[in-house]
Amino acid sequence: MDKPFFYDITLRDGNQSLKKPWQLSEKQFIFEKLKELNVQAVEVGFPASSHMDFQSCSALADMAWDNLVVSALARTVQKDIDSAIDSIGHAKIPRIHTFLTLSPFHMKYVLNKEPHYCAKKAIEAVEYAYSSVKKINKNAQVQFSVEHFGDCIENLDFVIGTLKKIVKAGASVINLPNTVERTRPKTFINMIEKVKESLPDDVIISLHNHNDLGMATATTVEGYFAGAIQLECCLNGLGERAGNTDFAQVAVALHNNGVEVPVNLDKIYETAMIISQMSNVSIYEKAPLVGPEALAHRSGIHQDGAIKTKDMEFGAYRPIHPSLIGRGNDEKIEFTSQSGKTAIFEIINNAGYPITINEAICLTPVVKEVSEVKGELSVDEILEIYFREIFDIKGAFELVSFKHLAGDKFKLDFKFKDELKEVEGSGNGPLDACLDALKNAGFPRKLSHYKQYALDEDKMGSGATAMSVIKLVGKNGEEIIGRATDKNTAKANVKAIFNALNQVYK
Ligand code: KIV
Ligand code: ZN
């Protein structure tokens, strides 16, 4: 099967639907982006529509890179065809794209013309375009579009008969637009197949699907497998009404289905952002691939799968690795009442704070309860709960003061079940001395781990700059993790020990 041929219509069909169509400089910028994407053809505009359009078509034709087909639209009238030739005929590979409807409804109610009149007009226009453009550029091509091809089911034999003559008249590309999407993809594909098998093999069949029912990508992708090699797509799915077929969706869907796609997929995300800004058409939250929510996971089951397959090319709950389209690895794990322990663990870890999976399990019902009322929680809101639940554990122990006496001696005042204890301890540093003092008070504990973190930001609003994480060995050899923050590093250590003790002595 031949490689897909990406024919971009952002600067024509996309532009004509904008509230503020682009100026030449903007079109030139977008043309450069299309070059970076490596599209095979660009429809640069409709030169007969205005002097400005004519000028920009001509300027863009000057910028064409090697092997790029530069196409311009023309109705089946000589003045339009002349204008298209005058504006882009000098391109390396110019293509005159002329179109006319052959749909029974449209011919009758919009054009008020007989089918044979329309067929003759189309054939003559192609003959004229072919002979005129070939005189000035031997590389030139002619494309004919059956506007409203999707509405031609009842006169398909007539359309095919006309297309055979159009091909003989010089059209090497036959575009079959679903100008208004009304039918199911399968019905449309059957029509495409019928045209494809009726025309000579070397005729390129092209698809141009509008997205009125939201199935344009599906129809285009399936149409390619039915033999339509040229795919007319628009960046960000811009275009009249609900838009044209989305370029990124088609390219990625084909890629995911084993097709060698001749475009630079890694430019897709950046280009989508630029086009959204330049067109003033925002990318909706749930937009496939490029939408802000396209990689967000909120349910516990999805979050678990997403995290387990995070760095893999094939993800449990995503169609691509974001890097395929040049998107940062922004698979988002957001916490709502539908989320679970994995999300808590991930969010707190990503925020730079230590947490064990057991602690995440303990925090989950607390965070869920808050989320049931508030909805999605921000990282800060989750951290607030984390600090409250994990750092501020109330129990039998209460630290009153911890003071350096002299040399390696410290004084520890604390309450145990409201009874004040004043003890001294000594050791190799404050942590050691505190444990010694506790031993002297009848609470011997062994330290198995100690780590201190510098805090950039004080999430608790207490001015803390240090966080201590310690592990005490429990009576049965189990580990008890204690955490605390403070402005003073020695105090943070002592508070962490009390935090651990309060988990044992409630
Ligand atoms: O949608 C359409 O039918 C068109 C044609 C001009 C190709 O845009
Ligand atoms: Zn269109």
Tell me which fold the domain 397-504 belongs to: Double Stranded RNA Binding Domain (3.30.160)
Query: Using a 6 Å cutoff on CB, does residue 43 contact ligand 1?
Result: no
| Geometric angle at alpha carbon 232, from 86 and 107, rounded to 5° | 75
Q: How far is CA 391 from CA 81, 395, 397, 488, in A?
A: 76, 12, 14, 16
Give nearest CA residue, ligand 1 atom 8.
13
- Any idea which residue has 């509008």 for tokens? 210
For residue 263, report the distance from its CA to the centre of ligand 1, in Å.
23
Identify the three-state secondary structure at position 433. Answer: helix
SS3 169: coil
pLDDT given for residue 462 in this prediction:
62
Tell me which amino acid residue 269 is. Y
Question: What's the pTM value of the predicted model, to 2 decimals?
Answer: 0.89
| Domain layout of the chain by residue ranges | 5-263, 296-390, 397-504
Distance 106 CA to ligand 1 centre (A): 13
406, two tokens: 């002299």
Give me the pLDDT at residue 455, please: 77
Dist. CA 410 → ligand 2 center (Å): 82
Using CA atoms, how far residue 359 sits from 107, 315, 355, 482, in Å, is 71, 27, 6, 11
Radius of gyration of the chain (CA): 34
Ligand 1 atom closest to residue 73's alpha carbon, by position in its atom list: 6
Instruction: Report the interhelical angle of 24-37 vs 51-62 (nearest 10°).
Output: 40
Ligand 1 proximity of 99 Cβ (cutoff 6 Å): yes
pLDDT of residue 459: 56
Cα of 40 vs centre of ligand 1, distance in Å, is: 19
Q: What gap in Å lies between CA 502 and CA 497, rounded to an integer?
A: 9
HSE value, Cβ hemisphere, 13 Å, CA-based, for 60: 35
Cα–Cα distances in Å, from 229 out to 4, 21, 115, 121, 299?
5, 29, 28, 26, 40
- Nearest of 50, 48, 53 to residue 27 by alpha carbon: 53
pLDDT in tens, the chain (506 residues): 899 999 999 999 999 999 999 999 999 999 999 999 999 999 999 999 999 999 999 999 999 999 999 999 999 999 999 999 999 999 999 999 999 999 999 999 999 999 999 999 999 999 999 999 999 999 999 999 999 999 999 999 999 999 999 999 999 999 999 999 999 999 999 999 999 999 999 999 999 999 999 999 999 999 999 999 999 999 999 999 999 999 999 999 999 999 999 999 999 999 999 999 999 999 999 999 999 999 999 999 999 999 999 989 999 999 999 999 999 988 899 999 999 999 999 999 999 889 999 999 999 999 999 999 999 999 999 999 999 999 889 999 999 999 999 999 999 999 999 999 999 999 999 999 999 999 999 999 999 999 988 876 655 556 667 889 999 998 888 999 999 988 888 999 999 999 999 999 98
Which spans in 257-316 are helix H?
268-279, 300-308
Cβ 13 under 6 angstroms from ligand 1: yes
Q: Is 145 in the pocket of ligand 1 (CB under 6 A)?
A: yes
User: Could you tell me the sign of the dihedral formed by the alpha carbons of 191, 193, 198, 199, in that order?
Assistant: positive
**Predicted confidence (pLDDT) per residue in 51-78, tens digit:** 999 999 999 999 999 999 999 999 999 9
Q: φ and ψ at 326, to 5 degrees?
A: 75, 20
Supply φ then ψ for residue 9, to 5 degrees. -120, 20
58 lines ligand 1 (CB under 6 A): no
User: Can you tell me the distance from the alpha carbon of 217 to that of 261, in angstroms, rounded to the nearest whole number?
Assistant: 15
Dihedral sign for Cα atoms in the order 373, 375, 379, 380: negative
Task: Identify residue 40 by its one-letter amino acid code.
Answer: Q
Compute CA distances 349 → 307, 311, 312, 367, 448, whole Å.
13, 17, 20, 16, 22
pLDDT at 1: 85
HEC string for 100-163: EECCHHHHHHHHCCCHHHHHHHHHHHHHHHHHHHHHHCCCCEEEEEEECHHHCCCCHHHHHHHH
Could you tell me which CATH number the domain at 5-263 has? Answer: 3.20.20.70
Contact criterion met (CB below 8 Å) for 101 and 155: no
Helix (H) or strand (E) holding 423: strand 419-426
For the stretch 304-347, pLDDT in tens is 999 999 989 999 999 999 999 999 988 899 999 999 999 999 99
Token pair for 314: 């094939």
Please check whether residue 262 is in contact with residue 251, taking contact to mean a CB–CB distance below 8 angstroms.
no
Question: Among all ligands shown, which has an atom nearest to the Cα of 234?
Answer: 2
- Give the Cα separation of 494 and 486 in Å (integer): 10
CB 444 within 8 Å of CB 436 = no
Distance (Å, rounded) from C-alpha 449 to C-alpha 462?
Answer: 25
Q: Which atom of ligand 1 is nearest to the CA of 240?
A: 1
153: helix, strand or coil: coil
240 CA → ligand 2 middle, Å: 7
Span from the CA of 179 to the centroid of ligand 2 (angstroms)? 6
Question: Ligand 1 atom closest to Cα of 149?
Answer: 3
Enumerate residues 6+ apart whose C-beta is below 8 A from 205: 174, 176, 192, 195, 196, 199, 227, 228, 229, 230
Atom of ligand 1 nearest to the CA of 99: 6
| Structure-token pair, residue 25 | 């400089």
- Distance (angstroms) between ligand 1 centre and the Cα of 393 equals 68
C-beta 208 within 6 A of ligand 1 = yes
Q: Quote the CA–CA distance of 91 and 130 in Å, as a whole number.
A: 15
Q: Which ligand is nearest to the CA of 148?
A: 1
Buried b vs exposed e over 227-258: b needs ≥16 C-beta within 10 Å? bbbbbbbbbbbbbbeebbbbbbbbbbbbbeee
> Do the bridges between strand 479-486 and strand 230-233 make them parallel or antiparallel, or are there none, so unpaired?
unpaired
149 lines ligand 1 (CB under 6 A): no
Take atom 1 of ligand 1 and give the residue whose Cα is closest: 179
Contact indicator for 134, 150 with CB cutoff of 8 Å: no
55 C-alpha to ligand 1 centroid (Å): 22
